[in-house]
Amino acid sequence: MTARSQRFLEFRMPDVGEGLTEAEILKWYVGVGDAVTDGQVICEVETAKAAVELPIPYDGVVSEIRFGEGTTVDVGTAIIVVDAGDSGSDGGPGESGDAGSAGDAAPAAAAGTAAPAAPAPAQAAPAAPAAKREAVLVGYGVAPSSTTRRPRKPQSGSGSGSGEHGTVPGQADRLNGHTAPAPPSEPAPAPASGLLVERPLAKPPVRKLAKDLGIDLATVVPTGQNGEVTREDIRAAATPPGLLPSTEQPVAAPGTAERETRVPIKGVRKATAQAMVASAFTAPHVTEFVTFDITRTMKLVQELKEDRAFAGLKVSPLLLVAKALLTAIRRNPEVNAAWDEERQEIVLKSYVNLGIAAATPRGLIVPNIKDAQAKTLPELAAALGELVATAREGRTSPVTMQGGTVTITNVGVFGIDTGTPILNPGESAILAFGAVKLQPWVHKGKVKARHVTTLALSFDHRLVDGELGSKVLADVAAILEQPKRLITWA
């Protein structure tokens, strides 16, 4: 590879969510012509798990931004091009696998510099393999991938290719690090009966889309580069002929206005919907309820707010509900388990990663507090406050939402008395904490105004039978009714 190919470097969408195949660009922090440095955050993207910021791994000037805000981009696709200057060397950190190929001309024009003419193929010296640097977020790896796709071989009788090797037009120049204009491609004709058909070219997300829609890739006419099947090809193949978009615009009836708005399902909301469907139709849910007097706990909350041990920390009823649930789990450890379908085993866990369901502008997420059972009450308050604040800001990391064992959902903040919560996939139980309200209640033989609430516990009936679930729920209510049990049951 020549020094010319080192000037314009492509930054590709990394895998920021452990195996996710795409991400939506939420916001760009840089524009064309801006100078960037190694490690500088250039944009914010949202995966199916969380919103994260992407740092760029090299220095230079932005010469091209390839996708606008709101665009969903496949992992591995170049999203921005940086003019790093003429380094004069054959390799270096941050080198894009196909930098200097088809992407060279456009970045040069955007940066306002004239791109030198590419040398003839005969004059190009072979380049030694260079160390390749991929954009990596802290805590997340990028799966290695090849940047050169194999060309589609010509079908028998198609007349395409350039000789016995079947090289597509312009391929030789691209493989030698140069760019040549490619002639318009024509759809490959259908193979003759009895001939062996090559496996269609398509990226993993496209193959998954085809599988989900029940489309055979071999029947799809590819329109992508080198005969690659694209998302648009799959969607076109999945659309019945009668439902193809019409060139004529429908005419609205006089005096009527559009009364529907369609919102694309993507990101966190899409992942949540898929997870809830999988949970609802995989784990047999049972929900139990208990209504009780929580007045003493409410008084304890006020006392803890004035305690110097909780200075700077948020103390709320949810904190004591969490502590009560952790105590109930310690008394009934069999409830803290998971179902391993593949091995047909129940996995008992000696740790509690306590999930807290949080409503955010991007949808419902469930980050969890790792090893919550080992934390003191002030430590639990600090962890809970940080978790909630991070979720509201949309900065929850994917790792924080993995590995949960049980969850609490505080529906009471919305004024709701109770509900039947659905399990977070892979977890054994979820506790719904309802609104605390002053109600007439029999206390010491007299009807008085007391603070009353309702708890609902949903659990996986494969793991938790009715007796165990009832014991856990009864223990939580008993602790909140008499908070001194946090000491006597310790």
Least confident of 70-84, 173-187, 286-300, 309-323: 173-187
Does 106 have pLDDT greater than 80?
no
pLDDT of residue 199: 72
pLDDT of residue 363: 77
Whether 312 maps to a domain, the answer reads yes
pLDDT of residue 354: 97
Cα–Cα distance, 484 to 490 (Å, whole number): 10
Give me the residues paired with residue 457 across strands. Answer: 288, 431
Average pLDDT (62-89) is 84
Cα–Cα distance, 28 to 65 (Å, whole number): 9
pLDDT of residue 359: 83
pLDDT of residue 66: 93
Question: What total number of domains does the chain contain?
Answer: 2
pLDDT band of 472, cuts 50, 70, 90: very high
pLDDT of residue 300: 97
pLDDT of residue 244: 46
Residues 79 and 67: beta-carbon distance below 8 Å = yes
Q: Where a domain ends, among 123, 140, 165?
A: 123
Average pLDDT (289-318) is 95
Whether 219 maps to a domain, the answer reads no
Average pLDDT (250-279) is 73
CATH number at residue 47: 2.40.50.100
Whether 138 maps to a domain, the answer reads no
Domain region containing 278 = 267-488
Whether 225 maps to a domain, the answer reads no
Asked if 443 is an active-site residue, the reply is no
pLDDT of residue 52: 83
Per-residue pLDDT reduced to its tens digit, 127-161: 444 444 444 443 334 444 444 444 544 444 444 44
pLDDT band of 253, cuts 50, 70, 90: low
Stronger pLDDT, 135 or 22, i.e. the higher one: 22
pLDDT of residue 124: 41
pLDDT of residue 218: 82
Least confident of 79-83, 248-252, 400-404: 248-252
Whether 311 maps to a domain, the answer reads yes
Whether 213 maps to a domain, the answer reads no
pLDDT of residue 19: 63
pLDDT of residue 104: 41
pLDDT of residue 113: 40
Q: Where a domain ends, among 59, 89, 123?
A: 123
The pTM of the full predicted model, rounded to 2 decimals, is: 0.55
CATH number at residue 351: 3.30.559.10
The catalytically annotated residue of 165, 285, 451, 461 is 461
- Percentage of residues in the chain having pLDDT higher than 70: 71
Cα of 354 vs its chain's centroid, Å: 20
Whether 230 maps to a domain, the answer reads no
User: Positive or negative, the Cα torsion across 420, 424, 425, 426?
Assistant: negative
Per-residue pLDDT reduced to its tens digit, 305-346: 999 999 999 999 999 999 999 999 999 999 999 999 889 999
Whether 182 maps to a domain, the answer reads no
pLDDT band of 282, cuts 50, 70, 90: confident
Q: Where a domain ends, among 106, 123, 140?
A: 123
